[in-house]
Amino acid sequence: MRFPRSSGVLLHPTSLPGRFGIGDLGPEARAFVDFLADAGQSLWQVLPLGPTGYGDSPYQCFSAFAGNPLLVDLEALVAEGLLHASDLESAPAFPGAHVDFGAVIPWKRLLLERAAARFRTQATPALQAGFQAWCERQAAWLDDFALFMALKDAHGGAPWCEWPGALRRREPAALTAARGRLADGVHAHRFAHWTFFRQWSAVRAYAHGKGVAIMGDAPIFVAYDSADVWARPELFHLDAEGLPTVVAGVPPDYFSETGQLWGNPLYRWDAIADDGYAWWIARVRALLEVVDRVRLDHFIGFTRCWEVPADAPDARTGRFAPGPGAELFLAIERALGDLPIVAEDLGVLTPVVEALRDHFAFPGMKLLQFAFGGTSDSAFLPHAYSPNCVVYTGTHDNDTTAGWWAGATEGERDFLQRYLAREVHDPAWELLRLGMASVADTLIAPAQDLLSLGTQARMNFPGKPAGNWSWRVPAGALDDGLAARLRTLSELFGRVPGQE
């Protein structure tokens, strides 16, 4: 699908400023939308919005359908009478520059559970009715997910493969007993997710009113310790005990002699196809109910993926296993119509991958930080672009552009400066200008690059087990002066909506 010429900013909601330890869906989210509109931007790109698990990564979620209750605006619950102002006074002294997940998670969960308990007895009839109607509409995923999370709580957070056998195997009598025994916990998780989706819907509507669309993100794989795998084990390569037989990874390459072992369970594409691709159709439908476009992560994996035996110590013993190819997207397209998908096609592109992407006219990705390490025939250089693509200065997995420049080789620095025909003083805005000027239909820049921040503001360092995903925007940094500067550049290169 071709998109209109436009530009936008990548900023996950957890990175918004605010006083409760983590960005949320309150006034600061609307203030960021205002900044985008004032700056002439029509896209807000976010990372996956699901409930994060191991390592706090939005790419390892407990569900492909659920939201992240850590993003709930607590002050809105005070306004609805479900929390008291005094409840918020118990907030720890959270740091402002980064998210301390270890402190945020228990404190915020406690308040959400308190609000859920009050909701049962104090909510207005209108709120009660809205909650019940939403639960019924979302029952296909919500029933399993809420029970899954309540069971995790009851088992001290242990992964589902360590639960008693009857629960691992989802024996009906065991599930019925658990729903009764854990009714309060099930209700609390339902309430937290209804609250998240209600608040997110309001933020998205506000963005639409300002001419800003939301680009979401969907990892190709799901986490093993997720409601998705527990509830639908037949769709994954698992053994009789529910353990993975093969997992996802990356083969050995220039960067790693042993490859990368991601550990995600792999899909049984034959079983998914036999079911008419219903699970994937439901997943994409659910995504498009909360975002306007979807960046589909690891698009290459839909043609083939690196399949590694689950007991292997590293990824060297893997093999390429075929993906579903066009059949999957044809099935989704038949069910949902034209798909507003961006293909994350970074990596080793094969003709098969390019053919799949181009058959559905999905725009691919161009990364400017990758453009200057080779020769003038690099596909990442702006003169090589075709319009149907999305150009980024960097992504969540890259260093900030200022950080990249600080560590760039002399060859990369020389190439960029010759390409620009001038000396580089602010590399982030130089790459931003190159992307804006290109023929790419869409330009996205991380908020860190708008602020010309260095490596200390990096969002994620692949392979680093801790300390990721925690960066937050300094309060007041996205100000009117920055908006005016960004709007001027966007107008110059014809990326402002409605521009004459």
| Identified catalytic residue from 24, 56, 297, 307 | 297
| Residue 297 annotated to the active site | yes
| Residue 28 annotated to the active site | no
d(CA 135, CA 155): 25
Please list the residues that pair with 170 across neighbouring strands. none
d(CA 3, CA 292): 11
| Residue 397 annotated to the active site | yes
Distances in Å between the Cα of 259 and the Cα atoms of 251, 254, 262, 306, 421 are 5, 9, 10, 10, 39
| Identified catalytic residue from 28, 113, 144, 344 | 344
| Identified catalytic residue from 397, 412, 426, 491 | 397
Q: Are 54 and 43 in contact (CB under 8 A)?
A: no
442: left (phi over 0), alpha (psi -120 to 50) or beta: beta
Which residues are catalytically annotated?
297, 344, 397
